[in-house]
Homo-oligomer: A and B are copies of this chain.
């Protein structure tokens, strides 16, 4: 997996782009080379490489070059960072959210 824990900033920013999420979906099927990843996307290889850098820096993928081919695959680190951020807030804000639920219940 990726080396260090990515900043939450990077992770959410990376996930915020539809092209990058599409790339992740593709990689969910299994490891893919850069040019195969680019195929379904309507943009140049160079643009895809730039997205890959962002995904890698945010711990969402790992890549490894063998010969002239770079293979890309999902990394769980980025997803975990995002998931934990959300889970932490949700539990911390539980009371707020519960109060809100109560108010709504009363309205019915």
> Which residues on A are within 8 Å of B, measured CB to CB?
1, 8-9, 12-13, 15-16, 18, 21, 24, 27-28, 30, 73-76, 79, 82-83, 86-87, 89-90, 92-93, 96-97, 100, 104
- Check B92 against A86 for contact (C-beta < 8 Å): no
- Classify the interface of chain A: helix, strand, loop or mixed: helix
Residues of B within 8 A of A93 (CB): 28, 74, 76
- How many angstroms from the CA of A9 to the CA of B82 in the assembled complex? 15
For the complex of A and B, the 6 pairs showing the least CB-CB separation, nearest first, are: A12-B16, A13-B16, A12-B15, A28-B93, A76-B97, A16-B16
B12, B21, B28, B83: which contacts A83 (Cβ < 8 A)? B83
- Check A87 against B83 for contact (C-beta < 8 Å): yes
Q: How far does the Cβ of A78 sit from chain B's closest Cβ, in whole Å?
A: 10
